[in-house]
Amino acid sequence: MAAAWSRLIEMGLDVRPIRSTPVLAFDPDKCLIDSKNWSIDCAPTRDIAFRTDLVAKAADELKLRVLDLTKYMCGADRCPIVIGGTLVYRDRHHLTATFARSLGNAFERELYLDARMN
């Protein structure tokens, strides 16, 4: 990633890496169906959901600030699979289209704040 981004930066493009989404250790649909207490059983703690982020590592190499939208998908301790009545994950590490669309305003806000910091 760092090599590809370096070439883009050399071309004068504005590269804005986005932190990877949390990763689940289970199938969210199956957990939701099988669990009696899905709001706890299907909400991994942050230390489990966040593994080594290769995007962040590559960004750090290039001294790029990473846009972090994970605060919109995780609380202080856990990352639920349902937020505001919307299923967050379509599998272990991809967001549903519906939830991704719900992040539009947050993404725009984060881009704006990041641009002001540069």
| Number of folded domains that form the chain | 1
**Are the beta carbons of 102 and 84 closer than 8 angstroms?**
yes
Domain limits for position 22: 2-117
Q: What is the DSSP letter of 63?
A: T
pTM of the model: 0.82
Distance CA 13, CA 2 (A): 14
Supply 118's token pair. Answer: 């540069």
Q: Per-residue pLDDT tens for 45-63?
A: 998 998 888 899 999 999 9
Average pLDDT, integer, range 72-87 = 94
Q: At what angle do helices 2-10 and 54-61 cross, to 10 degrees?
A: 40
The CA angle 82-53-17, to the nearest 5 degrees, is 90
